[in-house]
Every structure is written in C-alpha cells, then in structure tokens.
Amino acid sequence: MSKYQAGTYTGEAPKVWPAKVNQIPKEIFGDAALFEEELKKIFYGDTWHVVGHTAEVPNIGDFKTFDLGRVPLLIARGKDNQVRVFFNSCTHRGNQLETSVSGNRKEFECPYHRWLFSLDGALAACPGSKEFAPDFKQENFGLVELKTDQYLGLILVTMGKNTPPLKEWLGDIVPLTLSALLGGDGRLKLLGYQKVRYVSNWKGYNDNDGYHGGLLHTAFRMLNFQGGSGSQPMSVNGHWVIEAELKPAQNSGFLNDPSLIDFKVADPKRGSLVVQLYPMTVMVKHMDVINLRFAIARSHDVTEVHYAYFAHEDDSEELVQHRIRQSSNLLGPCGMVSMEDAAVFQRIHIGNHTPGVAEFQKGVVSLSELSLDMKQSDETGNLPRWEHYRKVMGFKREGEQ
Amino acid sequence: MSPVSEALSSTSTTDKAAKALLPLDDFTWNSWSAMETQWRVERLLSRYVACIDEDDLENWPEFFTLDTCRYEIITRENVERGMPLALMFCTSRGMLVDRIVSLREANIYPQRWYRHIISNVLIQSVDAECLQVQSNYVVLQTRRNGQTDIFSAGKYLDRIVLSKGELKFSEKRVVVDTHRVDTLLVAPI
Ligand code: FES
Ligand SMILES: [Fe+2]
C-alpha cells in the first residue's frame, strides 16, 4: 500500500516542502502560476544564463536570435569582432527588430519607421528626427544590451541586479571540466543544430538530461560501454560536473558498423564530460561529440532545446567527418543511444500531475543533509540543485521557521 | 545512350541537381521510356514508404544499394546555412541495419504510427548510371490516443540506380522543413 492518500491533488505547488532533502513535491511541475514566479526569480533574476557560443556567429555581421524565458534576444558580432547580446526590440516603439533565427547583416533595420541600428547597437539613422520630441537624442537610443560575460566563447547573460561575477558564479568545480569540454580554448566550429520541442516542464527536462542512473539506455549496455572511474562534484549554487572514463567498447556484436563509436581524439580516461549549469544548461562531450544544449523554458509544460554540435577549429578534415557522423547518430532527440531521454521527459511530465512527492533513493545517505559528491550511478547529483532552487524560490521546508 | 542522356551525362550531386530543374519529358533509360521510368520510380517510392508505414522496417535497408550507400535526414535550416550536421546519417548498409536494431531492441519511445504522403515526383537528371529524383513528402504521426499531427514535411533528394535489375537508392537525402522535432525521431523517413 502506498503511503499517499488519494484526493490530495491540487495541481498547485505546495507552500511548504517536505523536511526530507530527497523529496520533491510533484505539483511544482504542472503549475502555470509557479512558472510565472520562476520567470521572475530565476530567468529574470540573479543568475547567469547560457544563450550561445561565439562560434555560432563566427563572422562580422553574423547574428542569432534566442529567448530567455519570454524575453527576445539578439546576439550579434560587431565590426570590432565583439559579440554583444541585445534585447531584440527596436528602441522606438518596441517592435521586434530581427525575425530570422540567424543570418548575416550589415546593420539591423526596423521596418516600422525605418530606424537603423549598426552591428554594435548604435542608432545610426532615424528618418524625420527633426520633428521628434524635444528631449530626443539619437545617441540615447541605441539597442539595449544585457549584462553579458563569456567563458571560452560561451555566452552568458543576466538581467538580475545582484548576480555575482561570472567567475564566482562558476566557482571551483566547473572551469577544469568546462574548458576541456570546449576543446581547451573554446575555438570551436559550428557543425549544425538539432532542435526539439519537449512537452515537459523545464525542471523535468533539466532533472533528467544531464545525467541519470544508467538503467534507461539499453544501447549503452548493448554497446558494452563500461563506465570507468570518474568524479561528479556538485556546487551549492546548483552546478554539477561529471567526468567519467569510457572504456572503448569491445565490439559487442550489436553494431554492424562499429566505426561509429571509435574514439579519434577523445581521451577515454575523460571519455564522457558533462557540465550542467544552473538553472537549465547541459553541455556534454561524449567520445568525439561536442554538444552544447541551449534551452528555453517556454511555459510550465513546454521546453525547447537547441542541441548545437561543434568541431574544433584545428581538426583535420577526417576528424570533422568523424565528428559529424557521431554527432548525427548518437546523442540528442534522434540519437540511437539516448533518445529515451526525450520519451522520459514527457512521461515524467505526465506522471507528475499526481499528488505526492518524487523521491530520490540511490545514494541518499542522509535525509537532512546534502552531500556535494556522489558515486557513479547515484541519483543524488540533482539534490543540491533542487535545494538551491527551493531557496531561490522561497519555499520553506516543513518545520523551518 | 540516348541523345538526351548523353547531353545530361552529369555527375552533379543531388543538391546541384535540385537547382537544375530540367524539362525531362523525353528520354530513354536502360531501354525504358521516360513514362515507364517515371512509373518505376514512383513504384519504388511507394514501396519505400509502405515499408516504413507498415512497420516492416527490417526490410527498409533492402531499398539501398549493398556496397556503398548513404542515407541522411538533415534539416533545411542546416542545409541552407551550409552546415553538415544531420538528424540521422548512415554511410553504410551496416549503419542502416544498426538503426533498426536499435529502434527494435534498445530505444524506448511512445507508440505511434507514421503515414507518408508523397507527391511531385520529378526526375531531374538522367545519366548512364543513375537517376536524380526529387519528391515532396509529408509524414503524419498518429499517437495511440488517436490524435494525428503533421510530424515532418520536406523533400527527398534521391540518387537511384539499377542494381541486378532492381531500382535501389544509392543515396537518399531527406531535407526536412520541420526543423524543430516534436519530442524525438526514431524511425526513418
Ligand atoms: S518601432 Fe522600430 S522604427 Fe518605429
Ligand atoms: Fe540519458
């Protein structure tokens, strides 16, 4: 018999969380009002958000558009080679400035009243300005830039007033693995995207995309992938880093064409690297695949993820071809070894429209204290992030004053 | 070789062929008239999509040439930006088989039916070895709750050869307009 009584389902996030650190109230996944709070406190709040990598806009005039929650962004490389992130909104009457997902422009023109912005955001021209309001000054109407910082080309933005400096926010555990994941120096070359829409709350996506116990992916077992030694530290502000040895698979007979899973440059000792940055960015290097996942929380039940794949600028042509083949077949929503993730995001979301809590088990040694380290295949890596989320959102624990 | 096929002895790739929309109303290929060739190509495409829609996927690799073949599902977005990354990319018959084995034995995904609709089958170029054919497709997806959605729309760019008397794909490039996948893509298109 279950300990939960039927009839207690409200569909609303509870005001108070369970006292046990391994329990997550399921009703936080389907609550539309809570999503509005999350936008304010998390997505528009005091944390950094990964919105792209400079390799996506390699040439002067290249741009891409993206969203942070519901806020439209325009990321552009200027004549000075600087990559800037603007609100994608004309400073005249607020019209969406750029509608393409990506491209190359000499300048950005708003079609509404033909205001023209240069690549660095300055307002270059605005017809009829002689008759504008008396306090109008052209130099005050450049595109508005978000607070931006970069780490080896990774572009992060924040709209919070009290966001800590990026270095401090990344902390100790992230840089070593993240730099290896980004090819050591961040000089990456974009190979392309796989974009996907999940019918899942962003937290459900996030809770399962970076890492979960190894039982889900039958293909990993069929391929004989042996997880070797590794480390998987977490930080109190919700980041999580995993380094794992991947023993090159002895051909298990599963693949007719095992060349797909060769290691060409990846060091099997660090065959699998995962960096998960709070609140919802997952980046992985698995064998020779370099994959950054730019995620957008669209609503309480839709999450969009742009899986961007990269090579390194110094790669030989042969290596690039190998990366393309691995990247196009293994991971992500079409990848033959881990597409189960996509199915799970949706099922988690449906299943969480029920009363009670989701309870983490494997590796939990204390119900009151969180550990910042875990053993391979434990479930506990998500718990510090949940604790950080709980605090940011202001949920009290049972018994807490 | 007929005068037309001589004139068209092009080695262009499917992409180039897509640009050159030639009025191929009259030719002979392997002793077949243009009309018969068109009919045989349409038969091949019909059998190909029936194989997928009827979930007869173990036979899907049989539609491709044995020695060298290439099957790719790539988004129009990546193609137009000159980026090579695909959603599925097989460069050998073995890889085609691996996809199906994986789908059957390893992958977990919600049950659904595919229904392909094909139109505008256009033979674009003809040479001694092969036909370059472009066609449009739509895949409708019906989930087990009975709801049908458009899962994918796009075009096939096919290189078709005659192998032991049978038409086979030596290359099939599926260029997907619907570049944002709904949840996941497990079966071939
Ligand atoms: S709103 Fe852009 S020019 Fe008026
Ligand atoms: Fe997974």
B174 forms beta bridges with B73, B156
Run of H or E residues at B125 = strand B112-126
Q: Domain end: A117, A151, A185, which one?
A: A151
Residue A352's CATH number: 3.90.380.10
C-alpha B106/C-alpha A340 separation (Å) is 9
- Count the helices and strands in chain A (H runs, E runs): 8, 21
pLDDT band for position A217 (cuts 50, 70, 90): confident
Q: Domain count of chain B?
A: 1
**Does residue A90's CB lie within 6 angstroms of at least one atom of ligand 1?**
yes
Q: Which domain holds residue A73?
A: 49-151
CA distance A309 to chain B (A): 8
Residue A243 covered by a domain: yes
- Selected residues 187-216 of chain A with any CB under 8 Å from a CB in chain B: 190-199, 216
A174: closest CA among A166, A163, A162, A183?
A166
Pairing between β-strand A188-198 and β-strand B180-182 as defined by DSSP bridges? parallel
Q: Domain count of chain A?
A: 2
C-alpha A198/C-alpha A353 separation (Å) is 16
8 Å CB contact of B85 and A192? yes
The pLDDT, as a whole number, for residue B36 is 96
Cα within 13 Å of Cα(A298), Cβ side: 14
Q: Are residues A246 and A368 in the same domain?
A: yes
Q: Domain end: A151, A180, A201, which one?
A: A151
Determine contact, residues A296/A276, Cβ cutoff 8 Å: no
**Does residue A212's CB lie within 6 angstroms of at least one atom of ligand 1?**
no
**pLDDT tens sequence across A248-296:** 666 677 888 888 888 888 888 888 899 999 999 999 999 999 999 999 9
What angle do the packed helices A202-209 and A340-351 form, to 10 degrees? 140
- Residues A328-334: what's their mean pLDDT? 93
DSSP label of A173: T
Q: Are residues A133 and A219 in the same domain?
A: no
- CB neighbours (10 Å) of residue A21? 22
Prediction pTM value: 0.93
CB of B145 within 8 Å of a chain A CB? The answer is no
Work out the percent of chain A whose per-residue pLDDT is above 70. Answer: 95
**Is residue B6 predicted with pLDDT exceeding 50?**
no
Residues of B in contact with A254 (CB under 8 A): 98, 101
Residue A72's CATH number: 2.102.10.10
In degrees rounded to 5, what are phi and psi of residue B110? -65, 145
CA distance A186 to chain B (A): 19
Amino acid identity, residue A278?
Answer: Y
Residue A21 covered by a domain: no
CB of A225 within 8 Å of a chain B CB? The answer is no
B26: closest CA among B10, B3, B42, B43?
B3
**pLDDT tens sequence across A348-364:** 999 999 999 999 998 89
- Residue in A89, A99, A115 to alter for ligand 1 test, most ligand atoms within 8 A of Cβ: A115
**Is residue B3 predicted with pLDDT exceeding 50?**
no
Q: Are residues A242 and A295 in the same domain?
A: yes
Residue B121's CATH number: 3.10.450.50
pLDDT band for position B131 (cuts 50, 70, 90): very high
Amino acid identity, residue A53?
Answer: H
Residue B6 covered by a domain: no
Average pLDDT, chain A: 93
- Structure tokens, A197: 């829409």
Determine contact, residues A162/A44, Cβ cutoff 8 Å: no
